[in-house]
């Protein structure tokens, strides 16, 4: 797994960044404990993996 921008992750999911983070809204506290901060553009690999696993996003494309 590699670090990705929010935009790259949203493109892999086939949605906008806003929609992707609306999906993440119920998990905000858990993501904050993992190190996600509101202004981050590049997401660390462990957060990318968590979001991809949680929402079944294929990152291989």
Mean pLDDT to the nearest integer, 27-56: 96
Nearest partner of 21 among 54, 59, 60, judged by Cα: 54
* Spatial contact of 24 and 52, defined as CB atoms under 8 Å apart: no
The enclosing H or E element of 19 equals helix 17-24
Query: What pLDDT, on a 0 to 100 scale, did the predictor assign at position 21?
Result: 94
| DSSP secondary structure, 4-15, as one string | EEHHHHHHHHTS
Query: What pLDDT, on a 0 to 100 scale, did the predictor assign at position 60?
Result: 81
Mean pLDDT to the nearest integer, 54-60: 93
Query: What pLDDT, on a 0 to 100 scale, did the predictor assign at position 61?
Result: 54
Classify burial at 29, counting beta carbons within 10 Å of its beta carbon; exposed 0-12, middle 13-18, buried 19 or more.
Answer: exposed
d(CA 49, CA 31): 12
When pLDDT is cut at 50, 70 and 90, the band that residue 38 belongs to is confident
Query: What pLDDT, on a 0 to 100 scale, did the predictor assign at position 50?
Result: 97
């Amino acid at each position: 797994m590699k670090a990705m921008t929010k935009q790259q992750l949203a493109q892999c999911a086939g949605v906008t960044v806003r929609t992707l983070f609306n999906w993440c809204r119920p998990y905000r506290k858990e993501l904050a404990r993992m190190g996600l901060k509101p202004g981050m553009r590049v997401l660390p690999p462990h957060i990318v993996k968590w979001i991809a696993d949680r929402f079944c996003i294929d990152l291989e494309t």
